[in-house]
Amino acid sequence: MNQFDIAGVDLNLLKIFEALFEEGGASRAAIRLDMTQSAVSAALRRLRVLYADTLFVRTGRGLAPTSRAQELKPVISEALDRCRHSLAIASPGATTFHGRAVSIGLSDDFEVAIGRRIIETLEASAPGLRIIFRQTHSQIVADALANQDMDLAVAAGGFASRGLSHRVLGEGSYACLVDDAPRTPRRLTLGDYVSRGHILVSSGGVVGIVDEGLAARGLKRNVVASTTHFAALPFLLKGTRSVATIPRHAAEAIARVAGLKLLACPIDLPRYPVELGWRNSSLRDAAIVKVQAAIIACFPAKH
């Protein structure tokens, strides 16, 4: 077979490549595609011949893509997306999306705040559709969208790149979380705020926006622990006098389910934009349009 002649290529191999890349293993890819693992392994052997590369190497956690596979992923995903677009043209009024998956890039504060509502909305509007939440932030989101690592993304900006569009969903602010113990005050004074231990949520784990706000007043806080994610906050705060200052949307959601108290921050912190971004070409896909609408519905209409 001439590997450069598309007439001799089984295009189903591209779908298997995408599943192997995204699932990180033949067994998981087989489950996703409703195939046997031996069939996926056989397809991988054919892919390796087709592209003259190992493509995936075995590690202790599954299969890791080679540099050639990393290069091929956005090209193959774009080709598959165009095939999906063509099917959407043939069936513009699709009501079920079994076997389809749409990935949303967002930081875990947004996932905590709106993830469940997105799922519930899509269960009604797009039955069968699977949502994949992927971690991202404003510094890397444009490249992640351009490289087909995700279909849509919610972030505090970062979408000003060629080939991308974005929509402002709202404006973010900050609030404080503390243990809802009997002696918890209704409001934090600046003195009480500074005297408490602080749990810092930061990708760098050293300095946060609160430190900048306090420094402007000639003050410092005592950071007793840092974490890169929000999920552990209930366990780190419960039973302590510590405080965490985080985006209000996440603080409200965590307070509701974790028995923590939401308090106003005693210092003014800058607000920031909350935006939804996507590739210009992606809205030809009915599944992505459904997910876009579900995300927008999670934010109050702006007047």
d(CA 298, CA 300): 7
Q: What are phi and psi of 71, to 5 degrees?
A: -70, -35
Q: What is the pLDDT of residues 53-110, one digit of tens each?
A: 999 999 888 899 999 999 999 899 888 877 876 766 666 566 678 878 899 999 999 9
**Can you tell me whether residue 168 is helix, strand or coil?**
strand
CATH 3.40.190.10 fits 97-169+276-297, yes or no: yes
Architecture of the domain made up of 6-83: Orthogonal Bundle (1.10)
Tokens standing for residue 237: 């705060």
* Average pLDDT score over residue span 211-225: 94
Q: Residues near 45 by Cβ (< 8 Å), separated by ≥ 6?
A: none
Q: Of all helices (H) and strands (E), which one includes residue 246?
A: strand 244-247
d(CA 288, CA 280): 12
Q: What is the pLDDT of residues 233-285, one digit of tens each?
A: 999 999 999 999 999 999 999 999 999 999 999 999 999 999 999 998 888 78
DSSP string, 184-242: --SS--HHHHHHSEEEEE-SSSS--HHHHHHHTTT---EEEEEES-STTHHHHHTTSS-
Alpha helices in the chain (DSSP H): 12-23, 26-33, 37-51, 67-90, 108-125, 141-146, 190-195, 209-215, 233-237, 248-258, 286-297
> What one-letter code names the amino acid at 87?
L
Q: What is the pLDDT of residues 168-196, one digit of tens each?
A: 999 999 999 999 888 888 899 999 999 99
Q: What is the pLDDT of residues 24-37, one digit of tens each?
A: 999 988 988 888 99
Paired sense of beta strands 152-155 and 101-105, if any: parallel
Do 97-169+276-297 and 174-270 show the same overall fold?
yes
d(CA 60, CA 56): 13
d(CA 114, CA 172): 14
Which sequence spans correspond to the domains of the chain?
6-83, 97-169+276-297, 174-270
In whole angstroms, how far apart are CA 265 and each of 80, 174, 175, 215, 246? 47, 7, 5, 15, 10
> What is the CATH topology of the domain spanning 174-270?
D-Maltodextrin-Binding Protein; domain 2 (3.40.190)
